[in-house]
Amino acid sequence: MIRNDKKTDNNEINFKKIKFLDIQMIATLGFIITLIISFFLSYDKKLSLENKPRLFSDQEAQNLALFQTILVFIIATCFFYVNYKQYEIAKENHDKDEPDLLLQIETSIFAIISAIIGLYIVFKNYRSRTLSIAETEIT
């Protein structure tokens, strides 16, 4: 009977881990989207500097930059949440991955700080309607 309880506990732990991995996969997909947006914003800025027809108007580029930086902040927060929850699971079960997960939490905190700085840059320049080089390289 004790053996079945342990198996049930392992299944429950695995279910939790899978749930957080699913969230992490969705966040990773969001990050890929922000990279694609960043590419197009950078290319648009290049076209602007070369005095060629642009992909976006100034307003569209600003709106995309704002959307991108908000998405980056959400993704960074999501990774922090997932890392923290995985750390809690590892700590409860005395998992050998506990120290590595703690380092991932610290890395997530730096990503959130970076995302906040990116948001500040975009919000500061949002009214000017011109996309700065810094805004195209937020990610």
CB neighbour list of residue 16: distance below 8 Å, 6 or more residues apart: 85, 89
Write out pLDDT tens, residues 73-128: 999 999 999 999 988 888 888 777 788 888 999 999 999 999 999 888 888 877 66
Of 113, 5, 118, whose CA–CA distance to 66 is shortest? Answer: 118
Write out pLDDT tens, residues 31-60: 999 999 999 999 999 998 999 999 998 888
Q: Can you give the residue ranges of every domain in the chain?
A: 2-136
Cα–Cα dist 45/36, whole Å: 14
CA angle, residues 12, 103, 66, in degrees to nearest 5: 95
- Helix (H/G/I), strand (E/B), else coil: 51: coil
